[in-house]
Amino acid sequence: MNRKEQIECLKNEVCKKFGRTVEVSSDFSALSLSIQETTSESVSPSTLKRIFGYVKYGAEPSVATLSILSRYVGYAGWSDFCEKRTGEDSKVQGRTGRRLPIWMIALFSTVAMAAACVVIIVLKPRDVPKLDSLAGRKDTLVVLSEGDPVEIPVKDPVQIKYDSVLCKCLSESKIQCDTVLAQYGKMDIVDYWHYVNKEYSRIVFTDIKKLVEEEVGKTFPDEVECEIYGSEIFSKCRDYCVNKLFVDFPKDELQAAFDRLSYNKDS
């Protein structure tokens, strides 16, 4: 199975998980929400439209996006999906092909049993990292420790790079937003409102935008990946700043101040 066939197979499984095919624009929004609820990760409707051919786009989906979709349908990531699907295809082909000689089957069985014994003996509890010491997603790899299954988190290399850039950009967003919020109470609420709006524009569309472009450019040399990841990371940083600066803004206090100004003007 080549890469295109693997992607098509993944798309079919996504539709099965979703419960229907995606054919109209609203379907992609609903699928994006379903992915978010299932994996706590996001794939935008526009990205899904490109993947499913609703919008023409020449490049293949990124590994990070394919990994999220793979996790949505129950796999640890894109690599895990490809390996297991390839394994299933091999089994099907094996059933339709010639039978292996008995001596070869016996040899394989002996080797497999020996390997299993080595895994059980070597992987003692102290060799398995504690789950609470491992940061990251809920992706898990099952290994044997003295015969018992133990889950440890795993990540795709691309996902690690993506998360690293996202973390750095979000951290800078938080620092700058906290600096703005620290000015609350030090000026008139109306002046503070104008100050927040001005600083939001500077932080997001100047500082953070520049930081995202620099970090994504250094981390992902591929132009298509750079554009896609840069857009996603910038959107997440922008949304973070909106929530940080405006969602909990003291609107009642601001409205009261505007009412006073209006009253004084009328008087």
Digit-coded pLDDT (tens) for 66-114: 999 999 999 999 988 988 877 665 554 444 444 545 545 555 555 555 5
Q: What is the structure's pLDDT at 267?
A: 58
Query: Looking at the predicted structure, is the pLDDT value of residue 3 above 70?
Result: yes
In the prediction, which pLDDT does 91 show? 52
Task: Judge if pTM exceeds 0.85.
Answer: no
Q: Average pLDDT of 132-156?
A: 47
pLDDT attached to residue 238? 92
Residue that wins the pLDDT comparison between 110 and 198: 198
Nearest by Cα to 165 from 43, 64, 61, 44: 64
Residue 127 has pLDDT above 50, yes or no: no
What is the pLDDT, as a whole number, of residue 66? 93
How far is Cα 24 from Cα 18, in angstroms, rounded to an integer?
14
Q: What is the pLDDT of residue 133?
A: 35
> Quick one: pLDDT at residue 121?
39
| Mean pLDDT of the region 152-166 | 76
pLDDT (tens digit per residue) in 33-49: 999 999 999 998 888 98
pLDDT at 114: 52
What is the tens place of the pLDDT at every residue in 217-249? Answer: 999 888 888 888 899 899 999 999 999 999 888
**What residues have CB less than 8 Å from 41, skipping those under 6 apart?**
35, 68, 71, 137
Reference 231, options 38, 64, 37; nearest CA is 64
User: What local confidence, expressed as pLDDT, does residue 104 receive?
Assistant: 52
Mean pLDDT of 53-64: 82
Q: Residue 4's pLDDT is what?
A: 86
Per-residue pLDDT, averaged over 184-191, amounts to: 92
> Residue range 166-193: average pLDDT?
93
What does the pLDDT read at residue 153?
Answer: 54
Confidence at residue 211, expressed as pLDDT on a 0 to 100 scale: 95
Work out the pLDDT band at 142, boundaries 50, 70, 90: very low
As a whole number, the mean pLDDT across the chain is 78
